[in-house]
Amino acid sequence: MQKRWKIVPAQPAAATRLREQLQIHPVLCGLLAQRGITDFDLARSFFRPSLDHLHSPWLMKDMKKATDRIERALAGHEKVMIFGDYDVDGTTSVASLYLFLKKIHAPLSYYIPHRYREGYGVSKAGIDLAASQGITLIISVDCGIKSVELIDYARTCGIDFIICDHHLPDEELPAAIAILNAKQKDCHYPYKELCGCGVAFKLMCALQEQLQLPADAAYGYLDLLATAIAADIVPMTGENRILAFHGLQKANSRPNYGIAALAEIGSVQLPLTIHQLVFMIAPRVNAAGRMDEGGKAVELFIADSFEDALGFASQLQSDNSDRREADKITTQEALQLIEENPAWQNSKSTVVFQPHWHKGVVGIVASRLIEHYHRPTIVLTRSGEQVAGSARSVPGFNLYEAIHACREHLIGYGGHFAAAGMTLEPDQVDAFRDKFESVVSATILPDQLIPEIVIDQELGLHDVTPTFFSILSQMEPFGPENLRPVFLIRGLVDTGQSKIVKEEHIRFSLQDKTARKTLTGIGFGLAPHFALLSNRQPIDVVCTLDENHFNNKTTLQLRVMDIRTAQ
């Protein structure tokens, strides 16, 4: 598929000042300047993230109300429940707060709603169970900010609520004892992008102070927090970057038994990186809620021993294998549906439906289809008597608004700019598909239908040295708003040693025009472009840099994203 290359504007003045102060490669200074790091002090904070730079938890609105209510529950030996979502952010939030409170409060339980029987967020079934067990305080984590009616219902059952959430609030807020959410209009907490586990961490920090607990009581679960930050795709800036940095250190020195067990069962090579947390830990944890029961992920993280955790990790591994198989089969069937309908191939959107598809993978499959067709995509399946589905967008296109414009065909819908979900009657599928295509066709821009690669800096092959890569690596952890740098290297030629591997990929061997520097690289899915390497014709390469570990030897290599004839 053709891709657009877009080079990020340079910040030459700021980069020059940085080079005078830091005395490092000008390309690295350019990268820092593009990310708003424009002087020595900002660079020092960026390269050496310090826990001392975290904001006081007491700056968060309602924090004292929350800690006072919890202290009263502890003093009165009240039964307390932690209620969380079934995804990575929710289960790590529940696990870390549970482990923290369990050390000081015995009558404690947790609850993870069933993805399909109860849906997302606070549920009536969970409240009813809490009431039947005599629970008088529920602390919700990674959910609750929109549960106005359910929290009113909990009050009639004699249950108080403390909400720890990071999702955008509506105008009407639940009548909870305390709401911890930096996105509230009247909350002056300086950093607004914490994940749900980050908000729970702030509550633990405040409790640590108020209850005069050991100095590191709240910091013992930073590896779980780093996992949540990685999986929830929150900005890797400010406090998130500090917490992820130190959470990775803990994950590589004294990991939670659950993280260690998942690394063991996944044969992950240490040290763990944010990339590994996203692609090794997160899918297995999410698979529990997608394919079976999300509570297994909490049990994994609160296990008392590595051996116990390994048992739960095996269950999650099995769930993930089932998820991958369902994902593979559903994607193949969805692609076949599109191929069998020529009109769909030329559409500006994709809406596919089969009643037997597993509800737990439709969102993943929607993302897979975008890799093939790069257009707003909805995958639908049967859910009881109704049809339910997940939608994914392409960069720049407001998916939620497009679905909102089709609301006459829907029973319900929700989501945001890039992803959404909906339910509808079976007899409305065709009408919804037609209306969605009409709306997308009228509003999407031509460029939004062509995948874009954003390039940070141009680089020479001679610039790729161990020293350069060492400093580049210190820009980790990478994530949104601090993405892994993407480079453009111009005028490279094949050494004659490049080859296609596994029919889909290219193992590159490239050199610059002077033939003084040669580097290898891997380009996944680039085999269709192999002809560009013939006759040693110069090519331009878009890539990231990484290390290749083979036969106990480590070398630098290019991770090639796209190539084209040299311009």
Residues 467 and 435 in one domain: no
Q: Roughly what angle, to the nearest 10 degrees, separates helices 26-34 and 12-22?
A: 120
For residues 187 and 287, membership in a common domain is answered with: yes
**What pLDDT is stored for residue 515 in this prediction?**
72
Residues 331 and 324: their CA atoms lie apart, in Å, by: 10
Q: Which CATH number belongs to the domain containing residue 99 in this structure?
A: 3.90.1640.30
Is the predicted pLDDT of residue 132 greater than 80, yes or no? Answer: yes
Q: Are residues 66 and 215 in the same domain?
A: yes
Question: How many structural domains compose the chain?
Answer: 3
- Asked, for residue 43, whether it belongs to a domain, the answer is no
* pLDDT confidence bin for 53, thresholds 50/70/90: very high
Which of 304, 323, 322 shows the shortest CA–CA distance to 261?
304
Q: What is the pLDDT of residue 19?
A: 95
Residue 536 pLDDT grade (very low, low, confident, very high; cuts 50, 70, 90): confident
Local confidence band at 415 (pLDDT 50, 70, 90 cut-offs): confident
Lookup: tokens for 185: 């209009």
Residue 245 shares a structural domain with residue 100: yes
Q: Identify whether 347 is part of a domain.
A: yes
> 291 and 183, same structural domain?
yes
Q: How far apart are CA 426 and CA 382, in angstroms?
A: 8
- Residue recorded with tokens 């003084």: 516
Cβ-proximal residues to 25 (8 Å cutoff; 6+ apart), any chain: 463, 467, 468, 471
Please identify, among 412, 427, 449, the residue that sits at the C-terminal boundary of a domain. Answer: 449
270: pLDDT confidence band, cut at 50, 70 and 90? confident
CATH number of domain containing 366: 3.10.310.30
Cα separation values, 308 from 62, 261, 300, 504, Å: 37, 9, 8, 40
CA–CA distance, 134 with 80 (Å, rounded to integer): 9
Q: Is the pLDDT of residue 407 over 90?
A: yes
- In this prediction, residue 471 has a pLDDT band, given cuts at 50, 70 and 90, of very high
Confidence of residue 349 (pLDDT cuts 50, 70, 90): very high
pLDDT at 178: 98
Among 197-211, 391-405, 548-562, the range scoring the smallest mean pLDDT is 548-562
Per-residue tokens: 141: 């984590």
Q: Does 294 have pLDDT greater than 90?
A: no
503 occurs within a structural domain: yes
Do the domain assignments include residue 212? yes
| CA gap 400, 470 in Å, rounded | 42
- pLDDT tens profile 487-534: 999 999 999 999 999 999 999 999 998 778 999 999 999 999 999 998
The yes-or-no verdict on residue 486 having pLDDT over 80 is yes
Residue 1 has pLDDT above 80, yes or no: no
Give the CA dihedral 262, 101, 107, 281, nearest 10 degrees. Answer: -20
Tell me which of 384, 418, 449 is where a domain ends.
449
Going by pLDDT thresholds of 50, 70 and 90, the confidence category of residue 177 is very high
Q: Give the three-state DSSP class for 84.
A: strand
187 and 300: one domain? yes
User: Quick check: bond before 214 cis, omega within 30?
Assistant: no
pLDDT tens digits, 256-265: 999 999 999 9
The predicted-structure confidence for 70-118, as pLDDT tens digits, reads as follows: 999 999 999 999 999 999 999 999 999 999 999 999 999 999 998 888 8
- Domain membership of residue 333 (yes or no) is no
- Per-residue tokens: 33: 């300047």
Per residue in 135-145, is it b (16+ CB within 10 Å) or e — as a string? bbbbbbbbbbb
Q: Among 403, 434, 449, which residue terminates a domain? A: 449
Q: Token pair of 272, please?
A: 């763990």
Query: How high does pLDDT run on average in the chain?
Result: 94
Can you tell me the distance from the alpha carbon of 335 to that of 341, in angstroms, rounded to the nearest whole number? 10
pLDDT of residue 308: 97
Residues 22, 25: Cα–Cα separation, whole Å: 9
Evaluate whether 59 touches 189 at the Cβ level (below 8 Å): yes
Whether the per-residue pLDDT at 14 is higher than 80: the answer is yes
Does some domain include residue 22? no
Question: Does the pLDDT of residue 289 top 90, yes or no?
Answer: no
CA angle (322 as vertex; 316, 327 as ends), nearest 5: 120
Q: What's the pLDDT score for residue 553?
A: 86
Residue type, 97: L
pLDDT at 277: 86
Which of 83, 76, 130, 188 minimizes the C-alpha distance to 68?
76
Tens of pLDDT, residues 222-261: 999 999 999 988 999 999 999 999 999 999 999 999 999 9
Find the largest Cα–Cα distance for the chain.
80
Contacts of 377 (CB under 8 A, 6+ apart): 349, 350, 351, 366, 367, 369, 370, 391, 392
Domain that holds residue 363: 341-449
Closest CA relative to residue 46, chosen from 507, 512, 527, 472: 472
Cis-peptide, bond into residue 528, ω within 30° of zero = no
In the numeric block, the tokens 């198989």 are attached to 325
Residues 359 and 492 in one domain: no
Q: How many whole angstroms separate alpha carbon 138 and alpha carbon 146?
A: 15
Establish if 346 belongs to a structural domain.
yes
Q: Write out pLDDT tens, residues 54-64.
A: 999 999 999 99
Residues 304 and 354 grouped into a single domain: no
Q: How far apart are CA 316 and CA 336, in angstroms?
A: 30
Specify whether the CB–CB gap between 86 and 261 falls below 8 A. Answer: no
Residue 390: predicted pLDDT: 95
Q: Please give the angle made by the CA atoms of 153, 200 and 210, to the nearest 5 degrees.
A: 100
**Residue range 469-485: mean pLDDT, rounded:** 95
Report the Cα–Cα distance between both ends of the chain, in Å, rounded: 19
Report the SS3 class of residue 447: helix
- Does any domain span residue 9? no
Instruction: Say if residue 279 is in the same domain as residue 305.
Output: yes
* Predicted pLDDT of residue 188: 96
Q: Is the pTM of this model over 0.85?
A: yes
Are 497 and 436 within one domain?
A: no
277 shares its domain with 346:
no
Question: Which element (helix H / strand E) includes 379?
Answer: strand 377-383
In 133-172, which residue ranges form alpha helices assigned H by DSSP?
148-156
- What CATH number does the domain containing 525 carry? 2.40.50.460
Q: What are the start-end ranges of the H helices in 427-501?
A: 429-443, 466-473
413 plus 473 within the same structural domain: no
